[in-house]
Amino acid sequence: ISSLFPAMIRVAGPLLSTSPPSVSTICANSTVLSQAEQRARHIWKQADAVCFDVDSTVCKDEAIDELAVYLGVGEEVATATRKAMNGSSSFRDALANRLDIMKPSREAMNVFAQQPPNLTDGITDLIHALHKRGTHVYLVSGGFRTIIEPVADILSIPHSRIYANELIYDSHGNYLGFDENEPTSASGSKTVGKAGVCGMLKKKHGYKNLVMVGDGATDLEAAPPADAFIGFGGNAIRAAVRDGADWFVTSFESLLKALH
């Protein structure tokens, strides 16, 4: 009998409403959503710069998780990640906690970075098309430059267009910490993180149509100052990103087709 209650509630809801939304209201709301995507599509076609997140966007996996497994502390780092997501830890504190568990040496990072990156289907063709149009492409990540540089090489993206975290080592190559001056070592405001990078790039280069593409909350934070945010769900779909994105796609083929 209890299994009937959900159905009863769904039927009863509209009947109890004293002022159901009018057709014009429903259409207006749909128009707002449609206009947001139409605007993002227009900006995308005119983009003079595109910033891509790396983990779960350009690449299928999360590099920090893969690195933790490689170093033999996968479960410990996964636990720290879950605690950070459920608590009030800042991005910087969460990054520091996970790095303190891993303590990756320079040698370990260099060896790990030699593994072929697991690129997301369609990203190579998309970036080639953007380059052909003269669009500047950036990789903006909370991950580590050492791991991202080989990805950039495959995609013909200059290292000068990578914004990521830099690890600090002692004279013997042992892990000491990370460079907190890197904007991607923090998040939560428009002056740091991916928002900070997008704002800096617009100011420095005068970009008129800068687009951020990514799967996570720190990517969503980037617009504004990014002129549009395209949520990417090809590897992981996060509800807040799907709902908050100007335009949400699940394949890079969609973005490639939309360029034409």
User: Which member of 53, 215, 219, 246 is catalytic?
Assistant: 53
- Buried/exposed 195-215: b ≥16 CB within 10 Å, e otherwise: bbbbbebbeeeebebbbbbbb
- Tell me how far apart the alpha carbons of residues 163 and 66 are, in angstroms, rounded to a whole number: 20
53 is catalytic: yes
The secondary structure of residue 41, as a DSSP letter, is H
Cβ neighbour number for residue 66 with a 10 Å cutoff: 17
Sign of the dihedral defined by the CA atoms of residues 186, 50, 167, 144, in that order: positive
Which amino acid does the sequence have at 134? G
48 is catalytic: no
- Tell me how far apart the alpha carbons of residues 245 and 260 are, in angstroms, rounded to a whole number: 22
For the chain, where are the E strands, in sequence order?
49-52, 136-144, 162-165, 167-169, 175-178, 210-214, 228-232, 247-249
CB 113 within 8 A of CB 150: yes
User: Which member of 48, 55, 227, 246 is catalytic?
Assistant: 55
Q: Which two tokens stand for residue 119?
A: 């690129």
What is the Cα 196 distance to its own chain's centre? Answer: 14
CB 90 within 8 A of CB 30: no
List CB contacts of 154: < 8 A, sequence separation 6 or more: 117, 119, 124
Q: What are phi and psi of 32, to 5 degrees?
A: -60, -45
- Catalytic residue numbers read 53, 55
